Each structure stands twice: as structure tokens, then as C-alpha cells.
């Protein structure tokens, strides 16, 4: 919603926040508020990522116990798979699929996994171009490209919702096979 507010307000006549050459203009109240909301969003993202990785590690261990087989991907990939360029396009989904296969042999992979991963790719690839750089650079983009930022944000929210379904599906499969 902040992008819509910035786009509706329009860029101040003095130009973008970063004037170039190390010069910055004074931010408007709306731009200052965007910086605060952006920082809070970044903190929430880090906390959610830590919680998700902790869950992923736990269900990976459960899958190894249930199947008696070593996971397809070695332990560093649970973390590195998200940040290694190019590998991050398939390894995290592969880890989740491997966990499901080991936890419920012969059962179909939940559709939520593919939705989650497809939305993750859309939001991640969109964010690389639109959210790159400083918060001031994103503010400047919001004045001109708010609809694109909103598409990336919508994909990120949809990714999170699909992620909830992935967590619920894999957790349920493991609980069912443990009993």
C-alpha cells in the first residue's frame, strides 16, 4: 500500500531522495514512514526465514528417520540452497520434494509445493530488479513503477500463503506416518 501512496502523492519537484553524487534531499513524511515500514518488513522477513529454516531442518531429520535413508541433498544445502545463485532456482524445492518422498513414499507431491515454488520464483526474480539497492532507490522506483512493485509484493504474499499450505501438508504427512 505504501507504493500506491507514494505513486499517488507523486515525486516531489526536488527529485528522487538520492540526488546522486552523495547528495540526498530531505525526505517527506511519507518517505520516512516508508523507510520505517520497510525496515519492519525486513525484520519480519528475517524472523520468518529463520522459523521456516528451523522447520525445514526438523522435517528433514524426521524424513530421514521415517525412511531410514540419507537425504538427497547434504545438510549445507538446507541453508546454502537459498543463496547460491542459479542453484537457488531448484535446490530448495528439491529439498522439500525429497522430504515428502522420504516421508510418504508413493504419495503424490502436494500441489501447494509447486504453487509455492512458482510464486517464490516470480517474487524473487521480480525483487532482484525492483527492490535492488537502497530504500531510497526503491522509493524512487515507487513513483514510476508502483504497479510492478505491487505485482512483486502480491507474489510475495501469495508465496507466504502457499508456504503455509506446504508446511501444513508436510507436517501432516509426517504425523500420519509416525502414528
Per-residue pLDDT reduced to its tens digit, 126-173: 888 888 888 888 888 888 888 888 999 999 999 999 999 999 999 999
Cβ atoms 97, 112 nearer than 8 A = no
Q: What is the pLDDT of residue 130?
A: 84
Q: pTM to 2 decimals? A: 0.84
Cα 5 to Cα 8, 33, 65, 138, 139, distances in angstroms: 5, 11, 51, 13, 11
Counting as low any pLDDT under 50, the low residues of the chain are: none
Considering the domain boundaries, does residue 17 fall inside one? no
Please report whether residue 142 resides in a domain. Answer: yes
Considering the domain boundaries, does residue 69 fall inside one? yes
Inside any domain, residue 135: yes
Nearest alpha carbon to residue 81 among 124, 134, 131, 128: 124
Does some domain include residue 5?
A: no
* Total number of domains constituting the chain: 1
- Domain membership of residue 57 as a residue range: 25-178
Amino acid at each position: 500500500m505504501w507504493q500506491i501512496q507514494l505513486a499517488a502523492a507523486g515525486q516531489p519537484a526536488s527529485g528522487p531522495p538520492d540526488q546522486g553524487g552523495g547528495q540526498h534531499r530531505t525526505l517527506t513524511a511519507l518517505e520516512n514512514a516508508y523507510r520505517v515500514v520497510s525496515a519492519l518488513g525486513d525484520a519480519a522477513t528475517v524472523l520468518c526465514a529463520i522459523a521456516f529454516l528451523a522447520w525445514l531442518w526438523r522435517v528433514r531429520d524426521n524424513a530421514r528417520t521415517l525412511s531410514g535413508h540419507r537425504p538427497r541433498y547434504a545438510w549445507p544445502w538446507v541453508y546454502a540452497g537459498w543463496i547460491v545463485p542459479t542453484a537457488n532456482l531448484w535446490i530448495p524445492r528439491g529439498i522439500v520434494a525429497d522430504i515428502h518422498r522420504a516421508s510418504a513414499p508413493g504419495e503424490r507431491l502436494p500441489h501447494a509445493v509447486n504453487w509455492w515454488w512458482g510464486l517464490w520464483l516470480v517474487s524473487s526474480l521480480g525483487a532482484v530488479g525492483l527492490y535492488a539497492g537502497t530504500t531510497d532507490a526503491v522509493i524512487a522506483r515507487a513513483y514510476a513503477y508502483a504497479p510492478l512493485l505491487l505485482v512483486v509484493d502480491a507474489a510475495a504474499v501469495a508465496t507466504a500463503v502457499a508456504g503455509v499450505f506446504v508446511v501444513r501438508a508436510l507436517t501432516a504427512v509426517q504425523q500420519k506416518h509416525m502414528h
